[in-house]
């Protein structure tokens, strides 16, 4: 098996995110930790795979709520949003952003960080510390849907709905920056998101309608 | 059904019932499911495309304190060669089991070999390294024609060719060979003035649903297994899991979560039996999620194929004969959609003499699976390209040719079935009359192409229950998972019967213990068949409500009629109640009303589409840009026109991807080189023009509202239409898919 393993390492093209970060070494990881974000860091007591993993306590401001979470430096923002548990024992449980490609290729995990759309699978949680994070769950104002959400429903700009949270957040971000986009600008603004059901034409209409509603 | 009917709900565009859930992120898909005590499973996959498994040692993984269970094929009940009945199709149980966890051989890169469950997904992923597998690496065979050669490496030492019912003596990679005949092919070609013959190759393509496969299982000590997953068919999962684990279906409850796309690829089980075994061993619920590379490498692509088409026509444009040879890659185990391809290849035409040969061939790639009109896109790419060349030779308008030779009621397909009332010619006429077809197309390297397509659609079994609520609304309970808006299109059919708005119907998709048997959301059957069940269940409600009204009014039930949403007494008594008013008074006359229906309708009526596309080819880079696209299609009756348009646009989008970009790229060892969305490039907004849609309505006599399935046929014409447009643009005939820049430059002689 030893030889087999070596062969695999040479030939296989699959690199796990964790394996990659382990390979970078703790120095590189530490360098990505914003000092202000670091509440405290400690050696994980339960690291059993032979590598001591540093954990960091950080504060995440998500949809106007603040959560203190303890994360390994490699933990992505997406992972915390979906599966994280804060230090008070509360599940974050924001599963609107989807884990689809986990490599920044499809836009299904798009959230806003300080008003900018980002792929939450490509941002480490520690890099989001202290910033304002808005997920699709945070767009509606109580029972009042955000105009983009309303327009998506009105225009049936979704089929299976799996890419929809990402498209909704990306569309909102586009309109935040450019309240009256042309069709070409809409296409450009949403080109980082994939809809396999091919609902694009309805999505363009929804964005135009939302633009009108938002005064664009 | 021939006359146009007036409807109140059918044909309108109500807001979908699940819209708010899906735009707010609240809709729960399989990966979103949580429960207490959850473990996380990961699957160890072969990095060899073809290898004998000499041994698997799981002891190091089992010794890990955070690993709670490890499973291999040895944990599956002994899978002898036995035919498993999966309702829709029969499958050799050993193949079904071996695809879940390989026993003796790994047959493709990504083939599951073992799995384990641990306290968190990262530990599980790392602990996979503690499972030791010893392989004897074998040479892979990666292409259908190579696999058919006599000296090709054999995937299955015991696989004999089923050649038209006769088993071969020698083992082979050819699992089956079948033939369809109509008329006399030699006479047909003898009558032809022009004969065109070409061969075509299409690549392996993935369905590309963006939601990765997922399954969570809980195996209780009493033997009751519950599975939460995203699937096109909860009952199909129940049946497969029951066969693979050899437990009765009554012991398995499948809870369908929301599903993020399927397109045919979420019918087969992959993770469900694995999660169940891990849960059984660990005593805890276990969730297993695939990552994107696993989805590409281990789940059903649609097969690569080699197709040869020969057609003969008279000088006045009549088809006299057509011959097709289709060899499809089944992947690691038999069962490609070559049969469906053979049913569709020439079906838009009335052809007196035909011969079709189909071959199902195993290769060292993932077991192929259905993908939207499975087999038809490959087949009609070939046939429709040959038709275009015939039209060019004859100097005939290609849509005129299609109308002249178009299939219609009474015509038999080469594989036998006789068409009922269909809209093949009407859909083609709609394309011909569309302004796009005559619009000027100026500029160099630009061309316009057309192609038609057929998909036969399926019926199958569906069940619906309806509960009447005292506020005049109804709850509609169904077993069809909603991939693209079927909650609405099914609800609308019940609403039409009962004279209530679509918004007064509350549809819910429920688990396998809570609704009658329902087949998969696939085959373009859901709006047709589950809609049919909703229609019948609503008729049941209407009948019972009529009897209740009669009771209230103390008249005979025969003296009560239902018209325009009101129950009316017709014996001279001046009594009238709306559905809502009567619903509020049911408790006075016997309590709740529940309607139900289970159906198995067969009058599916096939679907036809004709597409027009304008392209511009960059002769220096070989890149094709789609300038304009128009799709016409016979929907029978469009229940919710927006969803029909959405299906048409969606099919076209996928068809464009298939035509221009998408393919699995393998290295010589059979490892996929592009198992990510970055390298397997699917269309984004930037790749598409606006896609015009024209819905043609030729009512299907097999459905009370004339509905035909609409979801699949729109993916069929695009590759051929685009190939024909490329020919008009730059004068080269493309006979390979995808028509990527490299292939175009090569065909132009520039590479």
> What pLDDT digit, counting tens, does each position of B383-424 carry?
999 999 999 999 999 999 999 999 999 999 999 999 999 999
Percent helix / strand / coil, chain A, rounded to 5: 40, 15, 45
Q: How high is the pLDDT of residue A27? A: 38
B164 interfacial to chain A (CB closer than 8 Å): no
Q: Domains plus CATH for chain A?
A: 17-138 (3.10.20.30), 147-213 (1.10.150.120)
Whether residue B443 has pLDDT greater than 50:
yes
Q: How high is the pLDDT of residue A2? A: 37
Residues B286-338: tens digit of each pLDDT:
999 999 999 999 998 999 999 999 999 999 999 999 999 999 999 999 999 99
B638 interfacial to chain A (CB closer than 8 Å): no
CB contact under 8 A, A153 and B23: yes
Q: How high is the pLDDT of residue A8? A: 40
Q: Which residues of B touch A96 (CB under 8 A)?
A: 24-26
Neighbours of A114 (CB within 10 A): 12
Span(s) in chain B for CATH 3.90.1170.50: 33-138+211-260+266-298
Mean pLDDT over B458-473 rounds to 97
Q: Buried b / exposed e across B296-324, counting CB within 10 Å, b at 16+? A: bbbbbbbbbbbbbbbbbbeeebbbbbbbb
Residue B78 banded pLDDT, cuts 50, 70, 90: confident
Q: For chain B, give the mean pLDDT.
A: 96
For residue A186, give every residue at least 6 positions away whose Cβ sits within 8 Å of its Cβ, in sequence order, or none.
A174, A204, A207, A208, B685
User: Distance between CA A167 and CA A142 in Å, rounded?
Assistant: 21
Whether residue B86 has pLDDT greater than 80:
no
Chain B interface test: which of A110, A201, A207 (most B C-beta within 10 Å)? A201
B28 interfacial to chain A (CB closer than 8 Å): yes
The tokens for B673 are 């080189």
Q: Which residue of A has its CA nearest to B32?
A: A95
Q: Which residues of B touch A164 (CB under 8 A)?
A: 22-23
Q: Which residue of B has its CA nearest to A206?
A: B23
Whether residue B425 has pLDDT greater than 70:
yes
* A153 to chain B, closest Cα gap in Å: 5
Q: How high is the pLDDT of residue A26? A: 40
Q: How high is the pLDDT of residue A16? A: 53
Residues B635-649: tens digit of each pLDDT:
999 999 999 999 999
Mean pLDDT over B624-639 rounds to 98
Torsion sign across C-alpha atoms B151, B152, B153, B155: negative
CB contact under 8 A, B263 and A145: no
CB contact under 8 A, A11 and B669: yes
φ and ψ of B68, to 5 deg: -105, -15
User: Distance between CA B253 and CA B317 in Å, rounded?
Assistant: 57
* B301 to chain A, closest Cα gap in Å: 15
Residues B109-160: tens digit of each pLDDT:
999 999 999 999 999 999 999 999 999 999 999 999 999 999 999 999 999 9
Neighbours of A199 (CB within 10 A): 26
Q: How high is the pLDDT of residue B1? A: 41
The gap from C-alpha B186 to its chain's centroid, in whole angstroms, comes to 36
- Give the architecture-level CATH label for domain B33-138+211-260+266-298: Alpha-Beta Complex (3.90)
CB contact under 8 A, B682 and A194: yes
Q: How high is the pLDDT of residue B751? A: 86
Q: How high is the pLDDT of residue B93? A: 87
In B707-736, the residues whose Cβ lies within 8 Å of chain A are: none
Q: Which residues of B touch A89 (CB under 8 A)?
A: none
Q: Which residues of A touch B53 (CB under 8 A)?
A: none
* B661 to chain A, closest Cα gap in Å: 14
Q: How high is the pLDDT of residue A47? A: 39
Q: Buried b / exposed e across B27-40, counting CB within 10 Å, b at 16+? A: bebbbbbbeeebbb
Residues B180-239: tens digit of each pLDDT:
999 999 999 999 999 999 999 999 999 999 999 999 999 999 999 999 999 999 999 999
Fold of B301-457+604-747: Aldehyde Oxidoreductase; domain 4 (3.30.365)
Neighbours of B485 (CB within 10 A): 27
Q: Which long-range contacts (CB under 8 A, 24 or more apart) does B566-575 make?
A: B566/B499, B575/B549
User: Distance between CA A60 and CA A80 in Å, rounded?
Assistant: 10
Residues B699-726: tens digit of each pLDDT:
999 999 999 999 999 999 999 999 999 9
The helices-and-strands tally (H runs, E runs) of chain A is 7, 6
The gap from C-alpha B580 to its chain's centroid, in whole angstroms, comes to 39
Q: Which residue of B has its CA nearest to A12?
A: B47
Mean pLDDT over B103-107 rounds to 97
Question: Is the domain covering B19-26+459-599 a CATH 3.40.50.280 domain?
Answer: no
CB contact under 8 A, B677 and A103: yes
Residue B565 banded pLDDT, cuts 50, 70, 90: confident
Chain A interface test: which of B65, B123, B210, B213 (most A C-beta within 10 Å)? B210
β pairing state of B474-478 and B505-509: parallel
Residue B728 banded pLDDT, cuts 50, 70, 90: very high
Partner residue opposite B24 with nearest CB, options A140, A188, A198? A140
* B584 to chain A, closest Cα gap in Å: 29
- Average the pLDDT over each of A11-25, B74-88, B434-448 and give the range with the smallest value: A11-25
| Contact indicator for B49, B364 with CB cutoff of 8 Å | yes
List, in sequence order, every residue forming a beta bridge with B412; answer none if it has no partner. B418
Partner residue opposite A106 with nearest CB, options B26, B28, B677? B677
| Contact indicator for B112, B44 with CB cutoff of 8 Å | yes
Mean pLDDT over B569-576 rounds to 90
Burial class of residue B386 (count of CB atoms within 10 Å of its CB; 0-12, 13-18, 19+): buried
Splitting chain A (216 residues) into consecutive groups of 10 residues, what average pLDDT does each group show?
39 46 41 39 42 85 97 95 96 97 97 98 98 98 96 96 98 98 97 97 97 89
Q: Which residue of B has its CA nearest to A192?
A: B684
Q: How high is the pLDDT of residue A22? A: 46
Partner residue opposite A145 with nearest CB, options B20, B123, B211? B20
Whether residue B33 has pLDDT greater than 90:
yes
Mean pLDDT over B572-588 rounds to 95
In B276-305, the residues whose Cβ lies within 8 Å of chain A are: 289, 291-293
Q: Buried b / exposed e across A41-61, counting CB within 10 Å, b at 16+? A: eeeeeeeebeeebbbbbbbbb
| Contact indicator for B627, B446 with CB cutoff of 8 Å | yes
CB contact under 8 A, B208 and A196: yes
Span(s) in chain B for CATH 3.30.365.10: 19-26+459-599, 301-457+604-747
User: Where would I find the H helices in B209-258?
Assistant: 234-245
B209 interfacial to chain A (CB closer than 8 Å): yes
């Amino acid at each position: 098996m030893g030889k087999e393993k070596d062969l695999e390492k040479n030939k296989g093209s699959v690199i796990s995110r964790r394996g990659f970060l382990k390979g970078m070494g703790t120095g590189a990881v530490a360098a990505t930790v914003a000092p202000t974000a670091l509440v405290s860091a400690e050696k994980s007591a339960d690291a059993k795979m032979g590598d001591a993993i540093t954990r960091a306590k950080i504060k995440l401001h998500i949809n106007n709520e603040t959560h203190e979470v303890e994360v390994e430096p490699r933990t992505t923002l997406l992972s915390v949003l979906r599966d994280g548990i804060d230090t008070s024992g509360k599940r974050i449980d924001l599963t609107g952003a989807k884990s689809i490609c986990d490599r920044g290729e499809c836009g299904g995990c798009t959230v806003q960080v300080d008003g900018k759309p980002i792929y939450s699978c490509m941002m480490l949680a520690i890099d989001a510390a202290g910033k304002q994070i808005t997920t699709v769950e945070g767009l509606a104002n109580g029972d009042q849907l955000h105009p983009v959400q309303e327009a998506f429903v009105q225009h049936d700009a979704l089929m299976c709905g799996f890419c929809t949270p990402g498209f909704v957040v990306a569309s909102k971000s586009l309109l935040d920056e450019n309240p009256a986009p042309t069709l070409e600008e809409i296409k450009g603004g949403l080109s980082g998101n994939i809809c396999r059901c091919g609902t694009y034409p309805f999505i363009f209409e929804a964005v135009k309608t939302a633009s009108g509603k938002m005064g664009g | 059904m021939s006359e146009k009917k007036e409807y109140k709900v059918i044909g309108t565009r109500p807001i979908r019932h699940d819209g708010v859930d899906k735009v707010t992120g609240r809709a729960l898909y399989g990966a979103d499911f949580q429960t207490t005590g959850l473990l996380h499973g990961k699957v160890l996959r072969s990095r060899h495309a073809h290898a004998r498994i000499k041994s698997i040692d799981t002891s190091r993984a089992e010794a890990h304190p955070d690993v709670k269970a490890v499973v291999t094929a040895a944990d599956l009940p002994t899978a002898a060669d036995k035919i498993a009945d999966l309702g829709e199709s029969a499958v050799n149980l050993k193949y079904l089991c071996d695809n879940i966890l390989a026993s003796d051989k790994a047959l493709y890169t990504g083939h599951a070999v073992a799995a384990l469950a641990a306290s968190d997904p990262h530990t599980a992923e790392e602990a996979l390294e503690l499972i030791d597998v010893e392989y004897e690496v074998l040479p892979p065979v990666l292409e259908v024609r190579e696999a058919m050669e006599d000296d090709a490496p054999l995937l299955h030492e015991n696989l004999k060719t089923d050649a038209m019912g006769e088993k071969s003596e020698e083992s082979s990679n050819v699992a089956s060979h079948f033939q369809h005949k109509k008329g006399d092919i030699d006479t047909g070609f003898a009558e032809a003035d022009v004969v065109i013959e070409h061969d075509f190759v299409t690549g392996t393509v993935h369905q590309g649903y963006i939601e990765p496969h997922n399954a969570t299982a809980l195996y209780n000590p009493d033997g009751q297994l519950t599975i939460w997953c995203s699937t096109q068919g909860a009952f199909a999962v129940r049946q497969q899991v029951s066969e693979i684990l050899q437990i009765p279906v009554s012991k398995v409850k499948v809870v369908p979560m929301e599903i993020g796309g399927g397109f045919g690829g979420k019918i087969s089980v992959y993770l469900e039996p694995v999660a169940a075994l891990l849960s059984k061993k660990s005593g805890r619920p276990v969730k297993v999620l695939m990552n994107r590379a696993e989805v590409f490498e281990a789940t059903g692509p649609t097969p690569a194929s080699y197709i040869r088409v020969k057609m003969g026509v008279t000088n006045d444009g009549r088809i006299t004969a057509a011959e097709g040879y289709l060899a499809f890659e089944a992947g690691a185990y038999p069962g490609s959609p070559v049969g469906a391809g053979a049913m569709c290849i020439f079906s838009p035409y009335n052809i007196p003499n035909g011969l079709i040969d189909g071959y199902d061939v195993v290769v060292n790639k993932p077991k192929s699976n259905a993908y939207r009109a499975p087999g038809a896109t490959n087949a009609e790419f070939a046939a429709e390209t040959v038709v275009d060349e015939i039209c060019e030779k004859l100097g005939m308008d290609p849509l005129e040719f299609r109308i002249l030779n178009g299939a219609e009621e009474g015509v038999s397909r080469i594989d036998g079935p006789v068409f009922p009332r269909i809209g093949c010619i009407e859909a083609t006429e709609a394309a011909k009359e569309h302004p796009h077809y005559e619009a000027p197309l100026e500029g160099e390297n630009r061309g316009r192409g057309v192609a038609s397509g057929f998909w036969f659609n399926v019926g199958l079994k569906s069940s619906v229950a309806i509960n009447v609520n005292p506020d005049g609304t109804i709850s509609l309970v169904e077993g069809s998972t909603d991939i693209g808006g079927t909650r609405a299109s099914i609800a609308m059919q019940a609403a039409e019967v009962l004279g209530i708005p679509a918004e007064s119907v509350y549809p819910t998709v429920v688990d396998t213990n809570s609704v009658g048997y329902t087949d998969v959301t696939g085959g373009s059957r859901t709006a047709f068949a589950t809609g049919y069940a909703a229609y019948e269940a609503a008729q049941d409600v209407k009948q019972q409500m009529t009897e209740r009204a009669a009771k209230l009014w103390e008249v005979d039930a025969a003296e009560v009629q239902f018209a325009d949403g009101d129950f009316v007494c017709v014996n001279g008594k001046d009594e009238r109640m709306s559905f809502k008013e009567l619903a509020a008074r049911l408790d006075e006359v016997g309590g709740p009303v529940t309607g139900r229906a289970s159906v198995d309708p067969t009058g599916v009526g096939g679907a036809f589409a004709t597409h027009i596309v304008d392209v511009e080819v960059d002769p220096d880079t070989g890149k094709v840009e789609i300038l304009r696209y128009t799709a016409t299609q016979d929907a029978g009756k469009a229940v919710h026109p927006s969803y029909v348009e959405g299906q048409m646009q969606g099919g076209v989008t996928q068809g464009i991807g298939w035509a221009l970009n998408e393919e699995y790229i393998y290295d010589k060892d059979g490892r996929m080189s592009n198992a990510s969305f970055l390298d397997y490039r699917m269309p984004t907004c930037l790749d598409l023009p606006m896609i015009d849609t024209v819905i043609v309505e030729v009512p299907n006599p097999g459905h009370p509202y004339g509905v035909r399935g609409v979801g699949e046929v729109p993916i069929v014409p695009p590759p051929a239409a685009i190939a024909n447009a490329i020919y008009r643009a730059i004068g080269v005939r493309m006979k390979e898919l995808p028509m990527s820049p490299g292939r175009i430059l090569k065909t132009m002689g520039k590479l």
